[in-house]
Structure 1
Amino acid sequence: MVQKYRNYRIYINDSSLFIADSFPDEDLGLQLIDVQSFDFSTFYKNLEKGGSMHYLLRCEDPKATFKLIKAQCVLIKAAGGLVQSEKGNYLFIFRNKKWDLPKGKVEKGEKMKQAALREVEEECGVKILTNDEKLCKTYHIYELSGKVMLKKTNWYSMTVKGQPKLVPQKEEGITKADWYGKDSLEPLLTNTYQLITDVLKAGKLL
């Protein structure tokens, strides 16, 4: 029996690192990294700030390799939602000068799915009707107080009753929250994070 390993994609600023046992379907002009000499700390330090490069660390056991990288980071768990209204539109927020989806950190003792619902309701001032299937997980690395943080975010499919007025949580840096149809996403996609496009693909919007 051939064991199938899970593949990973870690976002680092505008760049990303694939950890996989084969080449991804996406044609991103991946730069292949030698797994024998790979050291995550050195890779991260040498990664060009503000650049947009995509790397592939091809290995026999992506899960084990990912665990080695995770061990060198501080793990942060977060959860968020892709929310659809009864009119078939989707909820987006504008935070830190980019279009985003509502999400936030998981509190102690809280389950991921519960955290996703709470964060969406707090950040957008809405009442979630259904909190359905998990769409995907995303991984994002950033630096905070000299430490390398790995944020793991679980994303869930959600719905609301009708299409309620949104109240952005300004204390969380959210300056706008609005509903957008599937056919009107193009302007948002030019100013969003790459990992958000993964969530939209998982939700079959792209």
Structure 2
Amino acid sequence: MQCIFVNDKPIYLTTKVEKETDFKNFLLKDVDLDLVLHTLSKKSINSVRLIGHSDDKLLKSFKKKLPNVVAGGGKVFNDKGEILFIYRNDKWDLPKGKTEKRETIEETAIREVAEETGVSKLKIIKPLPITYHIFKRNGKSKLKITYWFEMHSSFKGNLFPQLNEGITKVEWLDQEAASEALKKSYANIKLLF
């Protein structure tokens, strides 16, 4: 079952029809996404399920329904095992951003982490799960597809939040502080921990 977040509420892509309780079912094939987003905004609804016929075609079908924005980001560890976090819009987040022309997704992830935090000496260790979320820009809904990578850096210099991107803080957080920060983060970021 694939999951796409709208704020902190999930849209599940599935082939199984279940009896509705605190969620609503819609057929993926001809769903009105504005109706789905409106339904998710109701307090009594915790999630939406979009029902399709074939597991391997669910995500592909959904991606065709919205403009896609591809991004790369990092869950960066330092030599002490601390994790690099950014603070933006009153939420803790991990650094990420959109791809640029002729850039691999790995290059995007490293560039964006460096730009948003001031951290250099970044090395990709392994890929992490891809996350999906819907956001609105200029009144239009878009699907952000973020490719995440576990990274390491031995960087010991000053951290610089990218203020023009709305980032107000950058911090290395130990496991305990990271667990606390995740309480004030996004659902799709929590999937990476």
TM-score, L = length of structure 1:
0.81
Moved over 6 A (4+): 49-52
Match of 1:149 in 2: 142
Instruction: Tell me, yes or no, if structure 1 residue 177 matches structure 2 residue 174.
Output: no
Match of 1:33 in 2: 25
Instruction: Tell me, yes or no, if structure 1 residue 8 matches structure 2 residue 2.
Output: yes
**Percent identity of paired positions between Structure 1 and Structure 2:** 33
Deviation at 1:91, TM superposition (A): 0.4
Question: What CA deviation, in whole Å up to 9, does each residue of 1:7-34 have, x standing for no partner?
Answer: 31100122111113469xxxxx862515
Distance, in Å, in 2 between the alignment partners of 1:158 and 1:116 is: 10
RMSD: 2.4
Query: For structure 2, which runs of at least 5 residues remain unmatched after alignment?
Result: none
Say whether the 8 Å CA contact 2:28–2:51 is kept in structure 1.
no
Instruction: Tell me, yes or no, if structure 1 residue 68 matches structure 2 residue 61.
Output: yes
Q: Partner of 2:192: helix, strand, or coil?
A: helix
Distance, in Å, in 1 between the alignment partners of 2:164 and 2:44 is: 30
Q: Partner of 2:109: helix, strand, or coil?
A: helix
Distance, in Å, in 1 between the alignment partners of 2:63 and 2:124 is: 29
Match of 2:154 in 1: 161
Q: Partner of 1:196: helix, strand, or coil?
A: helix
Deviation at 1:145, TM superposition (A): 2.0
1:131 is matched by which residue type in structure 2?
Answer: I
Say whether the 8 Å CA contact 2:120–2:155 is kept in structure 1.
no
Q: Which one is further off, 130-139 or 12-21?
A: 12-21
Q: How does 1:59-138 map to 2 (within 5 A)?
A: 59-138=52-131
Match of 1:196 in 2: 189
Query: For structure 1, which runs of at least 5 residues remain unmatched after alignment?
Result: 1-6, 24-28, 201-206
Question: What CA deviation, in whole Å up to 9, does each residue of 1:95-150 have, x standing for no partner?
Answer: 11110000000001111110000000111111134112111100011122232200
Instruction: Summarize the Cα distance change of 1:46–1:52 in structure 2 as closer, same or farther, 3 Å threshold.
Output: closer
Q: Partner of 2:191: helix, strand, or coil?
A: helix
Q: How many residues align?
A: 189
TM-score, L = length of structure 2:
0.86
Distance, in Å, in 1 between the alignment partners of 2:47 and 2:28 is: 19
Deviation at 1:48, TM superposition (A): 1.3
Instruction: Summarize the Cα distance change of 1:45–1:145 in structure 2 as closer, same or farther, 3 Å threshold.
Output: same
Q: Which one is further off, 116-125 or 37-46?
A: 37-46
Distance, in Å, in 2 between the alignment partners of 1:187 and 1:118 is: 27
